[in-house]
Amino acid sequence: MKIIAGKDKGKTGKVEETFAKIEKVVVEGINIATRHQKNRQTGSQGQIVEKSMPIHVSNVSIMEGKKPVRVGYKVEDGKKVRVARPSGKNI
């Protein structure tokens, strides 16, 4: 995926997790937030943890090779499939 809007615009990464109901995705290494973790009673120390946060799906684009592409749809054998607009290949 390539980020097309926001503070990480132009960066690329792999999708780690999707949230269909809220229309967001977590992309590896994108939209990093730091979280402060408290000491645990078991003896581990507190620390600062970096975590990838979700980004809205409208701010990412699917990549085909090294180029971002738009997605279209067509019906094949009675099923709706996604295709890359420039090349017509199935995604």
Q: What is the tens place of the pLDDT at every residue in 14-71?
A: 999 999 999 999 999 999 999 998 888 877 788 999 999 999 999 999 999 889 999 9
For residue 72, is it within any domain? no
Domain-located, residue 32: yes
Total tally of structural domains belonging to the chain: 1
Q: Is residue 51 part of a domain?
A: yes
Residue 91: inside a domain: no
Domain range for residue 41? 2-64
User: How confident is the model at residue 63, as a pLDDT?
Assistant: 92
List of residues 6+ apart from 83 with CB closer than 8 A: 71, 72, 73, 74, 89, 90, 91
CATH of residue 29's domain is 2.30.30.30
Asked whether residue 44 is assigned to any structural domain, the reply reads yes
Q: In this structure, is residue 84 part of a structural domain?
A: no
Q: Nearest to residue 27, comparing CAs of 69, 71, 57, 64?
A: 57
Assess if residue 70 is contained within a domain: no
